[in-house]
Amino acid sequence: MAYGTAKVQTAFRLPVELVERLKREAQLQGRSLNNYVEEALTRATQAKWPKLPKDYAASPEDLFHYKGHIPSPSQEMLKADPKLAHIWNKGA
């Protein structure tokens, strides 16, 4: 989690047993409930993009097909992996 990131307060209805388990896990890790849940949700929603080999080549047809079935990489992912950026933008 990046410090200084804009945040919004929200409310969810969760089962009592789930909240109790979350509180126990947060306490075991020496973290606040908010921090524990934020980290868990962040990990659960991050796209899983592998690094591509330097010699990887994909046709625009392949990318057109996959773009409808896989999540778009974030700008950070594209900046960190120039090969992915090239291939992703090639199929755009």
pLDDT in tens, 59-86: 666 665 555 556 677 788 888 878 777 7
Please enumerate, as own/partner, the contacts of 78-83 that have beta carbons within 8 Å and a separation of 24 or more: 81/49, 81/51, 81/52, 83/51, 83/52, 83/53, 83/54, 83/56
Global confidence as pTM: 0.49
6 band by pLDDT with thresholds 50, 70 and 90? confident
Averaged pLDDT of the chain: 79
